[in-house]
């Protein structure tokens, strides 16, 4: 029996061990998808606190419950480890590590490269390696493959290599990892065949494409599409604000058109692990090809400007009441990058907080999903804890700034007890009373 035939048989019989590297917002939902189909998984992470929590049946991600993690452990189908020498044990290694930007806005593939080198040290015949981390086209072929072949094994013959971009949407209860179609590109036909066979067992639909490069480019297109359209409505928001036109009402009217329009919404800036970052992968790649992506770069400029626009609107709002930002008490609602999640990555709230502190504001925050302000690589903020939303605390503020529109917030209550509310998310649209206290930004 050939390696690939033996491997596919193990997949079909649920006898293959799934290894997931990077136990965060992508890795844990992926484990859940395979566990629900009776596969056994071995999780890898370099953070010992994550390993300890998972092996005790505790989750640190809101949409993966501790009860679910406990069920993995109690069934004997999951273990977490920081021991990278065990990377030889799984039949499949799914890589879900961060791919941030450097300070110069270039792709930082440090985690991908380090993970690949760890795999190469123990790579054995028959293993399938799949990169799921968002990256630019050619990463799998030009960055990962040369490192893996340092093992002396040959791709498509001894081991197999593919790329399948994650499509996680934290907080969206309509889509789980298993319920979102999976694009898969293989380095070679056999690698594609095996990767499709694997994902087909756990994912609702698998979409094979002709190469890793097509799959990599697909992910970049998806998120650049969103970034560009969000930039469009952000720019229109600034124009319509000046004209006294409500951009949210405009969007609601436009989306009644049953064709040719998809609604995107403005906000205080872009957040999350993909949309603020992926377009820069593309502009970096274009520069390497001697081209410029002017349209995409312009969208990035518009979106990056939004926190500054919010601060300007706040200054105007306070100025109308004879108050400067300096010395004003500002309560920021929401530090997660989107509603109803505990994910703070690339949240524009951190930029807003930094700018408010620079301007001398007395700053506090509340977020029911983020009880303590996490340490962020690119933001220097003091240690802070989420404050209670009591009538006394709200009344004591000069302005309450809504940065993330969590469903847990009682906006009627917030507006009633606040002196001023700056709403960047249209969260107060249904609040009937005290409209004179609200400014949209």
Structure token digits, residue 379: 């933001």
Q: Taking a C-beta distance cutoff of 8 angstroms, is the pair 7, 16 a contact? A: yes
Using alpha carbons, select from 259, 266, 265 the residue that is nearest to residue 238: 266
Structure token digits, residue 317: 């709002």
How far apart CA 259 and CA 63 sit, in angstroms, is 33
How far apart CA 118 and CA 200 sit, in angstroms, is 27
Name the E strands within 334-411. 362-366, 399-402
**Distance from chain centroid for Cα 287:** 25
Would residue 274 show up in a list of annotated catalytic residues for this protein?
yes
Instruction: Report in angstroms the alpha-carbon separations of 78 from 44, 51, 136, 210, 403.
Output: 11, 12, 31, 33, 38
Structure token digits, residue 394: 């709200």
**Distance from chain centroid for Cα 278:** 11
Q: Count CB atoms within 10 A of the CB of residue 69.
A: 25
Percent helix, strand and coil across the chain, each to the nearest 5: 40, 15, 45
Rg (CA), the chain: 24
Selected catalytic residue, list 16, 212, 218, 274: 274
Q: Bin 183: left if φ > 0, else alpha if -120 < ψ < 50, else beta.
A: beta
Q: Count CB atoms within 10 A of the CB of residue 412.
A: 14
What residues act catalytically?
A: 274
């Amino acid at each position: 029996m050939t390696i690939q035939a033996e491997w596919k048989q193990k997949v079909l019989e649920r006898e293959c061990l799934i290894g997931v590297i990077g136990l965060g917002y992508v890795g844990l939902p992926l484990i859940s998808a395979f566990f629900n189909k009776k596969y056994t998984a071995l999780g890898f992470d370099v953070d010992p606190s994550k390993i300890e929590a998972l092996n005790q049946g505790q989750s640190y991600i809101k949409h993966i419950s501790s009860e679910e993690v406990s069920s993995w452990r109690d069934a004997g189908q999951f273990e977490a480890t920081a021991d990278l020498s065990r990377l030889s044990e799984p039949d499949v290694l799914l890589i879900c590590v961060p791919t941030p930007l450097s300070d110069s806005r270039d792709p930082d593939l440090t985690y991908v490269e380090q993970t690949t080198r760890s795999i190469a040290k123990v790579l054995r015949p028959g293993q399938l390696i799949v990169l799921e981390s968002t990256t630019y086209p050619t990463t799998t072929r030009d960055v990962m493959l040369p490192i893996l072949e340092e093992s002396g094994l040959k791709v498509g013959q001894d081991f197999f290599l593919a790329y399948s971009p994650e499509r996680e949407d934290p907080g969206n209860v309509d889509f789980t990892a298993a319920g979102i179609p999976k694009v898969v590109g293989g380095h070679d036909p056999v690698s594609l065949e095996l990767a499709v066979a694997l994902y087909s067992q756990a994912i609702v639909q698998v979409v094979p494409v002709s190469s890793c490069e097509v799959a990599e480019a697909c992910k970049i297109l998806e998120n650049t599409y969103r970034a560009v359209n969000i930039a469009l409505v952000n720019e229109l928001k600034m124009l319509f604000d000046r004209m006294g036109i409500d951009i949210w009402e405009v969007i609601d009217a436009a989306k009644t058109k049953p064709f040719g329009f998809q609604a995107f919404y403005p906000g205080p800036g872009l957040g999350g692990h993909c949309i603020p970052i992926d377009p820069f992968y593309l502009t970096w790649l274009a520069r390497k090809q001697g081209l410029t992506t002017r349209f995409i770069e312009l969208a990035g400029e518009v979106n990056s400007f939004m926190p500054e626009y919010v601060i300007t609107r706040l200054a105007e709002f306070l100025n109308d009441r004879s108050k400067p930002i300096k010395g004003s008490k500002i309560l920021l609602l929401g530090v997660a990058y989107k509603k109803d999640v505990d994910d703070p990555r690339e949240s524009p709230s951190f930029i807003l907080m930094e700018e408010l502190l620079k301007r001398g504001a007395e700053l506090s925050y509340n977020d029911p999903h983020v009880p303590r302000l996490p340490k962020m690589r690119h933001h220097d903020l003091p240690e802070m804890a989420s404050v209670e939303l009591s009538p006394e605390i709200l009344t004591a503020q000069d302005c309450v700034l809504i940065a993330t529109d969590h469903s847990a917030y009682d906006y009627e209550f917030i507006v009633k007890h606040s002196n001023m509310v700056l709403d960047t998310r249209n969260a107060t649209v249904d609040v009937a009373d005290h409209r004179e206290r609200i400014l949209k930004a």
